[in-house]
Amino acid sequence: MDGNLVLLLDIYGELLSKNQREALDLKYNSDLSLSEIAEEMGGISRQSVNEAQKNGEKRLLELENVLGNAKRLLANKKRLSEARALSERLCGDYPDERFGELSALLEEIEKSM
């Protein structure tokens, strides 16, 4: 679930309040404890950090439920990976440099996602 929330934070983070975004960023991207996050956020209480995280996570899940961007992104990454694997097999089966070019292009697109 944490991996999903990191992805959701990347996609929808700007739609959260500043405190929610910062609390979640420090939790997931910096791996800080509640106490460390509270200190980092100017000495607010651990309870405030906990509430910001819970509300932020809830909002991220609501946004994904309505918009579905992460689900589509993951599905497209999977399809792209399958297309690249097929292209590489074709490149091995048929000595045509265009299959190699296609495979390289698909890999480039996959890395950019």
Per-residue model confidence as pLDDT tens digits over 69-110: 999 999 999 999 899 888 888 888 888 888 888 888 988 998
> 57 and 9, same structural domain?
yes
Which CATH number characterizes residue 8's domain? 1.10.10.10
> 86 and 38, same structural domain?
no
C-alpha count within 13 angstroms, C-beta hemisphere, residue 45: 3
How many structural domains does the chain have?
2
> 48 and 79, same structural domain?
no
Q: Check: CB of residue 49 under 8 Å from CB of residue 72.
A: no
> 60 and 77, same structural domain?
no
Does the global pTM surpass 0.85? no
Last-in-domain residue among 67, 83, 102: 67
Cα–Cα–Cα angle for 61, 15, 46, rounded to 5 degrees:
75
pLDDT at position 1:
57
